[in-house]
């Protein structure tokens, strides 16, 4: 009798493991299918653009502005930000520790792994959030997420990671939920103008939207932080998200809110395989 009971229990454990394994496979397949469809959409829209070139945003599809951009990149407006970021990154905290101790490989060449889903705390961690959590863990005050020192440090870390390929993973079901929330935000219409990210950066990309041509959503995150001519400064991805939401008259989420982090997570996964090219310059 005992043997039978043990056998039943073992069988049930095996079945549970097999089922959960199947669920794991399901969401991974779903993410892969999303990614394939997303890429195929842009491959069809801009058949002349190579996948790797999408890291250049609007300059991948608009040859006129690409020429201007290439000239700007000869003397990059973000050069001083990288220098400042490097100096700050290498300056120890009051307790003698520093940023390198908070990151894998001392924080060098790791931009392509951010954002990631932290399976222990169950949330998406962006590079900027990780930097501030590192500061707070070492008794330093958090820095602003819009622009300034934190964004300069992020720019330096991106600079040390240039040409590394983005490889963001979806490790478990909770991560997939965060991915889905980001995806929902991307495709849902918001604000008084009733527009979604996808409206501008998928359907209208390549076409004039008033005076501008919206950049393609594929590879949109690879070059951040960016020096925007409009801002006259280097700014973070979430600062750009905030501006997009305001433009459609939707009340923006806070910078580094769960919503924006999930959106960055989804967008970054769509850009997996593209090279890190931040910091970069944009209009």
Partner 1 sequence: MKKLLIPLFLSLSATLAAPAFAATQEEVRGLINKATTTREAAAAAGFEWTGTADLITRAQTALETDNIAAAEALARQALKQAQNAVAQAEYADAHWRETKPD
What residues are labeled active site? Answer: 244
Q: Residues 250, 272, 273, 283: which binds partner 1 (CB under 8 A)?
A: 250
Both tokens assigned to 136 = 């707070």
Return the residues of window 201-230 that contact partner 1 according to CB under 8 A.
Answer: 202
Q: How far is the CB of 203 from partner 1 (least distance, A)?
A: 9
Length of the chain: 283
Please state, in angstroms and rounded to a whole number, the distance separating the CA atoms of residues 208 and 199. 13
Q: Residues 24, 27, 35, 41: which binds partner 1 (CB under 8 A)?
A: 41
Q: Residues 23, 40, 70, 137: which binds partner 1 (CB under 8 A)?
A: 40
Q: How far is the CB of 187 from partner 1 (least distance, A)?
A: 5
Distances in Å between the alpha carbon of 197 and those of 28, 220, 226? 24, 11, 19
Pick the piece of the chain touching partner 1 (CB under 8 A) from 80-88, 115-123, 149-157, 245-253. 245-253
Q: Are 157 and 104 in contact (CB under 8 A)?
A: no
Both tokens assigned to 41 = 């959409």
Is 191 a residue that touches partner 1 (CB under 8 A)? yes
CA quadruple 264, 266, 271, 276: dihedral positive or negative? positive
Q: Are 236 and 85 in contact (CB under 8 A)?
A: no
Q: Residues 34, 73, 140, 149: which binds partner 1 (CB under 8 A)?
A: 34
Eight-class DSSP state of 100: G
Pick the piece of the chain touching partner 1 (CB under 8 A) from 56-64, 85-93, 222-230, 250-258. 250-258
The count of other CB atoms within 10 Å of the CB of residue 234 is: 28
Please state, in angstroms and rounded to a whole number, the distance separating the CA atoms of residues 92 and 83. 16
Is 251 a residue that touches partner 1 (CB under 8 A)? yes
Q: How far is the CB of 158 from partner 1 (least distance, A)?
A: 29
# of chain residues touching partner 1 (CB under 8 A) = 24
Is 249 a residue that touches partner 1 (CB under 8 A)? yes
Name the residue among 268, 111, 250 with its Cα closest to residue 178: 268
Which residues in this chain contact partner 1 in the complex, by CB under 8 A?
A: 34, 37-38, 40-41, 183-185, 187-192, 194, 196, 198, 202, 246, 249-251, 253, 259
């Amino acid at each position: 009798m005992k043997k039978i009971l043990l056998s039943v229990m073992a069988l049930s454990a095996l079945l549970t493991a097999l089922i959960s394994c199947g669920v794991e496979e399901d969401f991974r397949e779903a993410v892969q299918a999303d990614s394939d469809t997303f890429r195929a959409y842009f491959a069809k829209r801009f058949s002349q653009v190579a996948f790797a070139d999408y890291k250049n945003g609007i300059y991948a599809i608009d040859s006129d502005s690409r020429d201007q951009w290439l000239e700007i990149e000869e003397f990059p407006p973000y050069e001083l930000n990288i220098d400042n970021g490097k100096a700050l990154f290498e300056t120890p905290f009051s307790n003698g520790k520093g940023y390198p101790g908070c990151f894998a490989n001392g924080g060098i060449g790791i931009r392509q792994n951010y954002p990631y889903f932290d399976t222990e705390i169950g949330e998406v961690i962006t590079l900027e959030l990780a930097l501030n959590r590192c500061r707070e863990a070492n008794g330093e005050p958090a820095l602003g997420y819009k622009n300034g020192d934190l964004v300069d440090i992020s720019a330096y870390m991106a600079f040390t990671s240039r040409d590394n390929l983005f490889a963001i993973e979806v490790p478990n079901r909770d991560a997939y939920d965060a991915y889905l929330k980001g995806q929902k935000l991307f495709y849902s219409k918001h604000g008084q103008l009733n527009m979604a990210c996808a409206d501008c950066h998928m359907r209208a990309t390549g076409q004039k939207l008033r005076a501008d041509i919206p950049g393609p959503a594929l590879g949109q995150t690879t070059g951040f932080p960016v020096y925007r001519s409009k801002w006259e400064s280097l700014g973070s991805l979430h600062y750009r998200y905030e501006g997009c939401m305001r433009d459609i008259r939707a009340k923006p989420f806070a910078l580094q809110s769960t919503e924006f982090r999930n959106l960055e997570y989804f967008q970054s996964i769509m850009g997996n395989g593209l090279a890190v090219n931040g910091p970069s310059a944009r209009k």
